[in-house]
Amino acid sequence: MFLNGSKGDLDYDKLWKPPSNRGFLPCTKPTPNYTAPAESRGYLLVHTNGGLNQMRSGICDMVAVARILNATLVIPELDKRSFWQDTSNFSDIFDEEHFINSLANDVKIIKKLPIELVNETRMVKQFISWSGMNYYENEIASLWEDYQVIRASKSDSRLANNNLPPDIQKLRCRACYEALRFSPRIEQIGKLLVERMRSLGPYIALHLRYEKDMLAFSGCTHDLSLNEAEELRIIRENTSYWKVKDIDPIEQRSKGFCPLTPKEVGIFLTALGYPSKTPIYIAAGEIYGVESHMAELRSRYPLLMSKEKLASIEELEPFSNHASQMAALDYIVSTESDVFIPSYSGNMARAVEGHRRFLGRGRSISPDRKALVRLFDKLDQGTMTEGKKLSNKIIDLHRRRLGSPRKRKGPISGTKGMDRFRSEEAFYANPLPDCLCQTEPPHQNISHIVK
């Protein structure tokens, strides 16, 4: 797999060379006007919700909210009731001492609520999604007049992506990329997995979002049997906190709302020019249908690796019954990869892409699923075949989707209300311009996929 000579250099540039960072480097230090935490007005309890990456972004937002509210933040409680039923506590996944100490100049953080306040009446509040400074400084801060303890019942997307003071945005980045690191035990095994992947050569981390929960939630059934589609429908029907039950799978796929199937990922990688000997790390839980749906991808790319293949049973045993801890291992291997490709733009995809942008690390190729579906349907209908024409079309579609620095996208024109906020690019998917600053003039970037 190691490339050498002029042909090898050309292959490396075409397939692996990172896009230029255009002089952008992390800049998370506070501005000169930033002060130490003000005297605490009360305690902020946080119940996080969702999977690992949804909880991560929520925790970082609650650090910023605690700063805005002049609150003492109690180490957040992780979601134990989500689809994954993970019983992990904060310190099982994250380095708790490092988190507290790293943010000491920003927010006071304690492990537990003082014993004298445990039975104190508290205000339980679901903060309004994508709220700005005015909401927290006025509506929420006014609660301190009657309560010493405020409990946030949800943590995801409770803070606006944009139009916040520079020091609040930089604090979010310090929390996410510096303070909230994984526990030493997870970091150790994560680095071991990276080393074992690197021993195979440059590698792709493929976030293959083709697990049962994803397919059930999204209503995507392309290439599934009738029995499989019905099983997923029943799961969706019986999962009370999934609000949308009646989903048209054909319409969902045509709009680009479905993850690529393993078969489609194989076609995509082949069209981009990655050879069959490319090492690929599958960052995912259990793939739905396992080998029945993986066979075609494996026939194209036999070097499909996973944490279960790279590590021994004994090495993975401490994490094996904890979905969020296993997801943390995937996060580390994905962040460190030469190329990161998500089959779906969910929470992990956004978190890893944002972290890689912040670090200036490798390529991140985000498939244009809506456009790809039209091409894949032509293959299925026999009106197009695999080869140079398809390859050129797919390469052209993705020339500008390699994760090079660009300003975070605002709302889609014409959207209003909550839909306007929902259409924005998430803060943690792209921390530019708030946490990346240009230190040298940009030069022409030619490090993109070439034909």
Phi and psi dihedrals of 333, rounded to 5? -65, -35
Check residue 399 and give its pLDDT: 80
Tell me how far apart the alpha carbons of residues 99 and 96 are, in angstroms, rounded to a whole number.
Answer: 5
Residue 42 has pLDDT above 50, yes or no: yes
Check residue 254 and give its pLDDT: 96
Comparing 5-14, 27-36, 122-131, the range with the smallest average pLDDT is 5-14
Tokens of residue 84, six digits: 């994954």
Q: 77-96 burial string, b = 16+ CB within 10 Å, else e?
A: ebbeebbbebebebebbbbb
| Alpha helices by DSSP H, 96-183 | 96-102, 133-134, 166-174
User: Per DSSP, what are the bridge partners of residue 204?
Assistant: 280, 339
Domains of the chain, earliest start first: 42-181 (3.40.50.11340), 185-210+259-404 (3.40.50)
Exposed (0-12), middle (13-18) or buried (19+): which is 106, by Cβ within 10 Å? buried
Q: What is the pTM of this model?
A: 0.92
- Residue 165 vs residues 36, 133, 160, 430: alpha-carbon distances, Å: 16, 8, 11, 17
> Strand order of the sheet with strand 109-110?
109-110, 71-74, 42-46, 149-152, 123-125
Give the mean pLDDT of the chain. 92
Tokens of residue 220, six digits: 């995507």
| Residue 149, SS3 per DSSP | strand
Report the percent of the chain where pLDDT is more than 90: 84
Residue 48 has pLDDT above 90, yes or no: yes
CA 165 to chain centre: 24
Tell me how far apart the alpha carbons of residues 193 and 410 are, in angstroms, rounded to a whole number.
Answer: 36
Check residue 445 and give its pLDDT: 41
Check residue 241 and give its pLDDT: 80
Phi and psi dihedrals of 72, rounded to 5? -85, 125
Residue with tokens 């650090």: 63
**Element spanning 74, H or E:** strand 71-74
pLDDT tens digits for 67-80?
A: 999 999 999 999 98
5 confidence band (pLDDT: 50, 70, 90): very low
pLDDT tens digits for 189-242?
A: 999 999 999 999 999 999 999 999 999 999 999 999 999 999 999 999 998 888
The whole-number average pLDDT for the span 361-384 is 95
10 confidence band (pLDDT: 50, 70, 90): low
- Contact yes or no for 283/206 (Cβ under 8 A): yes
pLDDT tens digits for 97-108?
A: 999 999 999 999
Instruction: Give residues with Cβ within 8 angstroms of 312, minimum separation 6.
Output: none
pLDDT tens digits for 430-447?
A: 999 999 999 865 444 433
The whole-number average pLDDT for the span 52-76 is 98
The whole-number average pLDDT for the span 391-400 is 89
Longest pairwise C-alpha distance within the chain: 72
The whole-number average pLDDT for the span 132-152 is 97
- Contact yes or no for 261/293 (Cβ under 8 A): yes
Residue 4 has pLDDT above 50, yes or no: no
- In DSSP notation, 366-378 reads ---HHHHHHHHHH
